Structure 1
Amino acid sequence: MIIECPADTRLQEYLLKNDIHILTPCGGRGNCAKCKVRILKGEVKINTMDQIWFSQKELDEGYRLGCQVFAKEPLTIEIYEK
């Protein structure tokens, strides 16, 4: 599923407001990597938890933990359906 996320938005909150659910058994702490998303358009800062879970190649391809994404600018994101 491809979604557009507006600027100045926490992705997880935006998804919940729009009745879109991603797996977050860790409660959004970034400890389980079940919420993997891919940033297709826009930039998202790589944080420590992203570096733990993803290889440099995956990071370069735009993979991030969805529970950790804060959109500073509009984003196009691919969400993997479970």
Structure 2
Amino acid sequence: MAKVTVPDYGTFEVSEGTKLTLALEDNDVHILHRCGGKAKCTTCRVEVLDGEFGELTDIEKEAFKRKGVEENLRLSCQVRVNGDCQVKPTMTVESSGLDDPGPRPEK
């Protein structure tokens, strides 16, 4: 099990290999994922405060280039928890004023 820490939300344990978006959502962090985890909308981006998720994937690079997103962020729908980490979601249901986060991403 890995520990995921989210400022203002706390720390929770998840199975290693879990998609970060699902780890957050399943622990009441209402991160947006408007495209359902397909790396199209970039609303699930997080700032990685601690931990390692490897190099940016080609899908992330393309999405960030297309949307003009800073490359120091990660798309939580494209990375998996592989150890303890601390992340800060940039867009949540609460901060956006939307009613729901979007379609649940696939595992």
State TM-score, norm by structure 1: 0.75
User: In the TM superposition, what whole-angstrom CA distance separates every residue of 1:30-60 from its partner, at most 9, and x where no partner exists?
Assistant: 11111111111111121112111336xx33x
Q: Does 1:10 align with 2:19?
A: yes
Q: Does 1:42 align with 2:51?
A: yes
Q: What RMSD in Å do the two structures reach over aligned CA positions?
A: 2.4
Q: 4+ residue stretches of structure 1 with deviation over 3 A?
A: 3-7
* Structure (1/2) with the larger helix percentage: 1
Q: Does 1:19 align with 2:28?
A: yes
User: Taking CA–CA contacts closer than 8 Å with sequence separation of 6 or more, which of the two structures ends up with the larger relative contact order?
Assistant: 1
- Give unpaired runs (5+ residues) of structure 2: 1-5, 97-107
Q: How many residues align structurally?
A: 79
- Provide the residue aligned with 2:100 in structure 1: none
Deviation at 1:4, TM superposition (A): 4.6
Q: Which has the larger radius of gyration?
A: 2
Q: Secondary structure at the match of 2:46?
A: strand
Read off the aligned partner of 1:23 and give its amino acid letter: L
- Give unpaired runs (5+ residues) of structure 1: none
* Structure (1/2) with the larger strand percentage: 1
